[in-house]
Amino acid sequence: MSRTRIAVGEATNELRKDGQVVGLTDQVYAMNGSELRFKEIQVQGDLSGVLEYNGRRIKVKRIGTITGLKVDAYGARGPIWEDVECEII
């Protein structure tokens, strides 16, 4: 019998920890395999430890770049983590 977890409901770009939104990704990412790489996360809380992303548990392994304030076509926002590699637990 398969033990694959499935997300119930619509996919979202929210990263959650203990039910609270702690980050927003730049788009909704598909999860295949045991790793997930985000191009960009807007940090809104504590991203340490185990997080939930679309019904799956993930853990941050590596951050490529941390930007305090990013100004682009979407306006001024931050802090931003770029090229974030996560492990799917």
Does residue 7 sit within a domain? no
pLDDT of residue 85: 97
Domain assignment of residue 74, given as a range: 14-88
pLDDT of residue 10: 87
Percent of the chain with pLDDT strictly greater than 90: 81
What is the Rg, in whole angstroms, of the alpha carbon atoms belonging to the chain? 13
Q: Residue 25 burial by CB count (10 A; 0-12/13-18/19+): exposed, middle or buried?
A: buried
Q: Which residue in 4, 68, 12 sits closest to 42, CA to CA? A: 68
The pLDDT tens digits for 78-88 are 999 999 999 99
Does residue 1 sit within a domain? no
Does residue 26 sit within a domain? yes
- CA–CA gap between residue 46 and residue 77 (Å, rounded): 17
How many domains is the chain built from?
1
Does residue 5 sit within a domain? no
The pLDDT tens digits for 8-26 are 568 999 999 999 999 999 9
